[in-house]
Amino acid sequence: MQHGDPGPASSIARRTSFLDNAPRMVDFLKDQGLKWHYTRNYPDYYPNLPGARGEGGRTLEPEFFDLNKLGNWRNWILEREGFVPPIHIYQATRLTRALASFSDFLYAARLMTPMLLRRALGQDQTGLGKALVAQLLYLNKQKDREIWRNSPLVSLIPGSDGSIIGATVNQNGTERRIRANRGVLLCAGGFAKNKQWREKFGRQPASVEWTSVPPGDHGDAIAAGMEVGAETALLDEAWWGPTIMDPLNGMPHFAVYERSRPYSIIVDAKGKRFMNEAGSYTDTGRIMYERHKEVSAVPSWLVMDLKYLDRYMLSSVTARSKDKRKRAEAAGTLFSSDTLTGLAQKIGVDGEGLSKTVKRWNAMSEKGVDEDFGRGGNAYDTFFGDPKIKPNPNMGPINKPPYYAIKLYPGDLGTKGGLLTDELSRVLKKDGSVCKGLYGAGNTTASVMGKTYLGAGSTLGPALTFSYIAVNHMASG
């Protein structure tokens, strides 16, 4: 309750409302038929703060869901390229280091075997956020709910007293006015794909190519709220995270695991480290921008040696895959050299600075203590490390050539600024009064988390909870 940014979006009243109503929302969806999975060992992102849980136990995920149950509705869900295995969030860290040790390989085999068997039998299971979307669609399908697709918001409809009484949408090319007697809830994403808005409001340099958000996230709902006088907040903030452009397909990849593994560091143009690489990923993006004010750090560079690529995945470049490494180098996304100075020359980084940084890193790795930034000093860091590496699972000397590097950008999982709302999800005007009849939730609104990201589900949790609050408030009116 007492941690983080105390700005208007993260007021005590809004925090209290979230904490009080989140369990009710979870129970409500469970009663409707949504199946949850309790994630026992995924740590909070700042486990050393008072009240935090370094051992985990605060996170809920949706259970796996067979997409075949949706029938033709399954085509409404955006698909990623290739096969994405249905896994729980705590399983991914071991799966991405499957070739690091025999025990990790056995774990991955035990995980994948029944998964592939179910797939061979015709099931098409999915997990994580996609499973949440699929389950919510399935619940609506069971209740014969009508869902309009291809119906973007055009504008809100104000009444004679200024309250919002409906909305105009463009349904398959035809504008339709919808009367809403109880109110309108805007929960339609942020503006991560809006180049003009990111240039106007966001930190620089930036690119819509760095975000992990799918196409269409242009801020239409936020714009509609602004047009009727709504206040906004946190427009310069995002759910930051270290992002690499996949070495093989060029798509943005949120590098949660890659930057936490041993035998690697992140450096700026001077070849110097400037952060705990394994810390909270939203901090990583913010720190990169702060560093960039003094030294070129956007993009930064993830530097590693051969031991790293022999043990761990680098996005789609699987461990020990010489062919994929060569293809990535040929594509100009992965760089290598037999010497650190040679690598520095290829990537435009100060060679002497990089050599000194690696020398100090190697010495600290032998002791297992990051004297500069504390990497590996808490449960969140070590969760993403490699427990087979002693004495620090997040550290390891960079000393086996060839050496490799890939660009690292301050990408994001979406923007976190938008319409300012109160504890009842009501959109507020610039004078602090309520915009009657208008509610907001999700990335359309300024986040209750403020500038922080305390743990898993900080996006979806409040989106679901404040939508639940909004609809209940509408119903009570």
pLDDT beyond 60 at 2: no
* pLDDT of amino acid 84: 77
For the whole model, what pTM was predicted?
Answer: 0.92
Summarize the confidence of residues 63-79 as an average pLDDT.
94
Q: In the beta sheet, which residues pair with residue 153?
A: 169
Cα Rg for the chain, rounded, in angstroms? 23
Summarize the confidence of residues 376-404 as an average pLDDT.
96
pLDDT beyond 70 at 351: yes
pLDDT beyond 60 at 271: yes
Q: Taking all residues of the chain, what is their mean pLDDT, rounded to a whole number?
A: 94
pLDDT beyond 60 at 428: yes
* pLDDT of amino acid 4: 61
Other beta carbons less than 10 A from residue 398's beta carbon: 25
Summarize the confidence of residues 171-196 as an average pLDDT.
96
* pLDDT of amino acid 440: 98
- Say which residue the tokens 């949790």 belong to: 461
* pLDDT of amino acid 99: 86
pLDDT beyond 80 at 80: no
Query: Confidence class of residue 326 from pLDDT cuts 50, 70 and 90?
Result: very high
Region of poorest pLDDT, from 45-54, 439-448, 467-476:
45-54
Q: In the beta sheet, which residues pair with residue 299?
A: none
Question: Which tokens is 115 given?
Answer: 């998964």
pLDDT tens digits, one per residue of 11-53 = 999 999 999 999 999 999 999 999 999 988 899 999 988 888 8
Q: Parallel, antiparallel, or unpaired: how do β-strands 65-66 and 59-62 relate?
A: unpaired
* pLDDT of amino acid 101: 87
- The helix/strand/coil state of 361 is helix
* pLDDT of amino acid 371: 98
Summarize the confidence of residues 445-471 as an average pLDDT.
95
Summarize the confidence of residues 443-470 as an average pLDDT.
95
Nearest-angstrom CA–CA distance, 267 and 404: 13
pLDDT tens digits, one per residue of 394-413 = 999 999 999 999 999 999 99
pLDDT tens digits, one per residue of 106-134 = 988 988 898 888 888 888 999 989 999 99
**Above pLDDT 90, what percent of the chain?**
82
Question: Between 56 and 447, whose confidence is greater?
Answer: 447
- Shortest CA distance to 30 belongs to which of 22, 19, 42? 22
* pLDDT of amino acid 90: 84
Query: Confidence class of residue 78 from pLDDT cuts 50, 70 and 90?
Result: confident
Name the DSSP letter for residue 440: E
pLDDT beyond 70 at 416: yes
CA 443 to chain centre: 12
Sign for the CA dihedral angle at 269, 273, 278, 279 comes to negative
pLDDT beyond 80 at 82: no
* pLDDT of amino acid 405: 98
**Could you tell me which residues come within 8 angstroms of residue 28 by beta carbon, excluding any fewer than 6 positions away?**
468
* pLDDT of amino acid 275: 98
Summarize the confidence of residues 178-201 as an average pLDDT.
96
Domains and CATH numbers, the chain: 33-142 (no CATH), 153-237+417-476 (3.50.50.60), 242-412 (3.90.700.10)
Query: Confidence class of residue 270 from pLDDT cuts 50, 70 and 90?
Result: very high
Question: Between 1 and 38, whose confidence is greater?
Answer: 38
Question: Which tokens is 183 given?
Answer: 């109110």
In contact, 242 and 411? CB cutoff 8 Å:
yes
| Amino acid, single-letter form, for residue 389 | I
* pLDDT of amino acid 459: 94
pLDDT tens digits, one per residue of 163-179 = 999 999 999 999 999 99
Tell me what percent of the chain is helix, strand and coil, each rounded to the nearest 5. Answer: 35, 20, 45
Query: Confidence class of residue 98 from pLDDT cuts 50, 70 and 90?
Result: confident
Query: Confidence class of residue 54 from pLDDT cuts 50, 70 and 90?
Result: confident
